[in-house]
Amino acid sequence: MSPEKNVVLIGMMGVGKSTVGRNLSIALKKDFFDSDKEIELNCGASISWIFDVEGEAGFRRRESEAIAKICLGENIVLATGGGAVVSEGNRRILSDFGCVVFLSGSVELILSRTEHDKSRPLLQGSDRAGTISRLLSERTPYYSGLADLTLDVADLGTEKTVNNIIDFIER
């Protein structure tokens, strides 16, 4: 895997894709993009607002557009939204774009990291653990099938995760 290749971070919400992505982009001297932040910038509205007004289907359409646009670039680290991999078109684009790294975590880890976060529309119901478990079950086959590298972030921390990705890319 060439160090010049783009890097894509996939995984559930709360596993640290944005934090790892920012740190990785600095270490690799690449530009960092977060697809959710790009959507918010392009729309001038929060993800929660987009979900409220356009529903999940409208958000997913915007997400696919943002990913396609970002993936026209070079020298990039991209942190995707947790559900981006559900779209076959997104999976194809991301796979062609660069080295795909699946940051995985348990239901308990994701629950603890998103416990006080009110900005995640899919977690606004009363059974957050059940929702996370269901989403993880639905999405893990996509994450695993797309990944060039899988890292369980539970015991790694940001620095070790970044170093593991760099080691993999430089091999």
For 58-75, write each residue's pLDDT tens digit: 999 999 999 999 999 999
For 93-108, write each residue's pLDDT tens digit: 999 999 999 999 999 9
Q: Is residue 127 one of the residues assigned to a domain?
A: yes
Relative to beta strand 6-10, strand 76-79 is parallel
What CATH number does residue 36 fall under?
3.40.50.300
| C-alpha span between 10 and 150 (Å, rounded) | 10
CA trace torsion 11, 159, 157, 150 (10° rounding) = 40
**Tokens 């709360």 -> residue:** 14
Predicted structure pTM score: 0.92
| C-alpha span between 154 and 149 (Å, rounded) | 16
| C-alpha span between 87 and 65 (Å, rounded) | 12
| C-alpha span between 128 and 160 (Å, rounded) | 28
pLDDT at 2 over 60: no
| pLDDT for position 165 | 98
Q: Is residue 126 one of the residues assigned to a domain?
A: yes
Q: Is residue 82 one of the residues assigned to a domain?
A: yes
Q: Please, are residues 132 and 122 in contact by the beta-carbon 8 Å criterion? A: no
DSSP 80: P
Q: Is residue 92 one of the residues assigned to a domain?
A: yes
CA 154 to chain centre: 16
| C-alpha span between 15 and 19 (Å, rounded) | 9
Domain count, the chain: 1
Q: Is residue 88 one of the residues assigned to a domain?
A: yes
Average pLDDT over residues 75-80: 98
pLDDT at 120 over 90: no
For 15-48, write each residue's pLDDT tens digit: 999 999 999 999 999 999 999 999 999 999 998 8
Confidence of residue 111 (pLDDT cuts 50, 70, 90): confident
Q: Is residue 89 one of the residues assigned to a domain?
A: yes
Q: Is residue 1 one of the residues assigned to a domain?
A: no
Domain membership of residue 145 as a residue range:
6-170
| C-alpha span between 36 and 165 (Å, rounded) | 22
Q: Is residue 117 one of the residues assigned to a domain?
A: yes
